[in-house]
DNA sequence: AAATCTCTCAACCGCCGCTGT
DNA sequence: GACAGCGGCGGTTGAGAGATT
């Protein structure tokens, strides 16, 4: 095994020992850190300056808060990330006692997965387009058909014709991505491109997490004595900065008209995910709708319909195809509880795509977190 | 009880921007 | 302006702990 250049130089790497920690603490308490490059030599440590700086900044600093993130901290991280993106140091500056490294780790191991399960793309903070597109197609083609289940796309006269092979292809893509258990995947960038004349989908994704001056200005107008602008509203607005005010107004209206996240078990149809479809803009789709879509796609009813569809497809193709359980694949974290594990008779209800249990750390009031007042244009307090 | 898998997070690495010469 | 040194940042890794088979 070859040693790294640092080890060759006699510099130690890897986990710090309590003795090393104590040396570093003692030195900095006496002299301050000064130049990190010269610190290890002066402190009698066989470490590089960078390693000392990181150890101090991420672990030994006296003002570091340790332990689990509180619910408020988690909300703050999500809110700040929706504005700042992966600017971990800036986010950390708004969370006293937390380090950028800690927040980054927490985001990658916890929050990202939660958002994904809720049907929210953790990169863009917008509804997952794969889920929405699938649900919308099925909503249009299946549930709006006659009560006795038929396949309107097969007859296809006078209706919007959905090609079943396209639908199955979409399902296949979705499921393959889901089963890879990768929350980073964002499907259907083409939808973004089709629905945004100003910016292509890839441009939008590249441009995030940088936020425009307009977005920052708008955020600065969020004051506690004004009606709180929810995370949901903020995200909807963020997804279409060119039309932000309009989006915010509509979102507020939507809140007034219909409470979010009604339980699918009490509904006969999938929610109409395109109820703003006269504007044909993907950004009109709300987080709540995406969450509802996740619930629908995970429901036993949907699963049976899907299997019917597959059987029908088999008849057309004269090929056998085993039944499968979509809902189990929709969960990005198989080891944790997912909607698929809960049948319709369960007393557990879903709120914004999570179970009541999950709300312990990701509560229903998540959608009403407002950004700190003093956030300036660089994201610092 | 052992083997295997999954998750967490401290630490490392490479890059970038700032500053001084 | 070019260069070097330095600190800071974000992405990634891998060891260890815990969970599962």
Task: Write out residues whose CB is closer than 7 A to strand B.
Answer: A 4, 6, 12-16, 47, 50-51, 54-55, 58-59, 101-102, 104-106, 108-110, 333, 335
Which nucleotides of chain C does any protein CB come within 7 A of? 5-12, 19-20
pLDDT value for A141: 52
pLDDT of the residue at A360: 36
Walk along chain A (381 residues) and give the pLDDT tens digit of each residue: 334 444 556 788 889 999 999 999 999 988 888 889 889 988 999 999 999 999 999 999 888 888 889 888 998 999 899 888 888 988 999 898 899 999 999 998 888 888 877 777 777 777 766 666 666 665 555 544 433 333 333 333 333 344 555 555 555 555 544 444 444 333 333 332 333 332 223 333 333 333 333 333 333 322 222 333 334 344 433 333 333 333 433 333 233 222 222 222 233 332 222 222 333 333 444 555 566 666 656 555 556 655 665 555 555 544 444 444 444 444 433 332 333 332 322 222 233 333 333 333 333 333 333 333 344 444 444
Name the residue closest to B7, CA to C1'. A109
Q: CB neighbours (10 Å) of residue A323?
A: 10
**What tokens appear for A10 in the block?**
């006699």
The whole-number Å distance from A148's CA to B8's C1' is: 50
pTM value is: 0.55
Please give the distance of CA A62 from its chain centroid, rounded to a whole number: 32
Nearest nt to A86, CA vs C1'?
Answer: C10
A90 C-beta less than 7 Å away from strand C: yes
Tokens representing A162 are 């959905």
pLDDT at A62: 87
- pLDDT at residue A98, rounded to an integer: 92
Q: What is the DSSP string of A231-279?
A: HHHHHHHHH-GGGHHHHHHHHHHHHHHS-S---GGG-SS---TTTTTTS
Contact, A102 CB vs strand C, < 7 Å: no
Coil, strand or helix: which one is A355?
strand
Q: Report CA(A160)–C1'(B14) in Å, whole number.
A: 52
The reply to whether A49 Cβ lies less than 7 angstroms from strand C is yes
Angle of helix A231-239 relative to helix A213-220, nearest 10 degrees, comes to 160
State, as a whole number of angstroms, the distance between the CA of A174 and the C1' of C18. 31
CATH superfamily of the A5-60 domain: Homeodomain-like (1.10.10.60)
Q: Cβ of A53 < 7 Å from strand C?
A: yes
Q: What is the pLDDT of residue A137?
A: 60
Q: Which nucleotide, over all strands, has the C1' atom closest to the CA of A6?
A: B12
**What's the pLDDT score for residue A24?**
92
Give the CA A187 to C1' C12 distance in Å.
24
How long is the CA A162 to C1' B5 vector, in angstroms? 41
**Per CA to C1' distance, which residue is closest to C5?**
A37
Residue A340: partners with Cβ closer than 8 Å, 6 or more residues away: A298, A325, A327, A328, A330, A331
Length of chain A: 381
* A300 sits in which H/E element: helix A300-317
Q: Domain boundaries in chain A?
A: 5-60, 127-213+246-340+348-360
Give the distance, in angstroms, between residue A105 CA and nucleotide C13 C1'. 13
Give the residue with minimal CA–C1' separation from C12. A105
Is the Cβ atom of A206 within 7 Å of strand C at any atom? no
Does the nearest atom of strand C lie within 7 Å of A255's Cβ? no
Task: Determine whether the distance from the CB of A86 to the nearest atom of strand C is below 7 Å.
Answer: yes
């Amino acid at each position: 095994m070859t040693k790294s250049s640092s080890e060759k130089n006699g510099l130690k790497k890897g986990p710090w020992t309590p003795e090393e920690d104590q040396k570093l603490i003692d030195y900095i308490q006496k002299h301050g850190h000064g130049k990190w490059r010269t610190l290890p030599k002066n402190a009698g440590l066989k470490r590089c300056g960078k390693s000392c700086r990181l150890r101090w900044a991420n672990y030994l600093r006296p003002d570091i808060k340790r332990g689990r993130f509180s619910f408020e901290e988690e909300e703050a991280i999500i809110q700040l990330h929706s504005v700042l993106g992966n600017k971990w140091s800036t986010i950390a500056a708004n969370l006293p006692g937390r380090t950028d490294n800690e927040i980054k780790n927490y985001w990658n191991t916890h929050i990202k997965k939660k958002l994904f399960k809720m049907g929210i793309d953790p990169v863009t903070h917008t509804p997952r387009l794969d889920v929405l597109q699938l649900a919308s197609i099925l909503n249009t083609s299946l549930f709006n058909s006659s009560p006795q289940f038929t396949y309107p796309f097969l007859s296809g006269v006078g209706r919007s014709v959905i090609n079943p092979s396209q639908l199955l292809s979409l399902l296949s893509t979705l499921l393959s991505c889901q089963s890879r258990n990768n929350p980073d995947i964002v499907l259907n960038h083409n939808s973004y491109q089709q629905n945004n004349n100003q910016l292509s989908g890839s441009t939008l994704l590249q441009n995030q997490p940088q936020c425009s001056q307009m977005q920052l200005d708008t955020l600065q107008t969020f004051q506690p004595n004004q009606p709180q602008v929810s995370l949901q509203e903020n995200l909807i607005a963020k997804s279409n900065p060119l039309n932000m005010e309009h989006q915010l107004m509509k979102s507020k209206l939507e809140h007034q008209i219909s409470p979010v996240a009604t339980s699918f078990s009490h509904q006969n149809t999938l929610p109409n995910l395109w109820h703003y479809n006269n504007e044909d803009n993907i950004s009109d789709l709300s987080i709540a709708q995406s969450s509802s879509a996740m619930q629908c796609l995970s429901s036993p009813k949907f699963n049976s319909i899907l299997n019917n569809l597959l059987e029908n497809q088999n008849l057309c193709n004269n090929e056998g195809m085993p039944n499968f359980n979509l809902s189990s694949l929709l969960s990005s974290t198989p080891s944790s509880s997912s909607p698929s594990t809960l049948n319709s008779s369960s007393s557990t209800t879903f709120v914004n795509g999570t179970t009541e249990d999950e709300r312990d750390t990701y509560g229903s009031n998540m959608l009403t977190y407002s950004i700190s007042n003093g956030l300036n244009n660089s994201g610092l307090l």
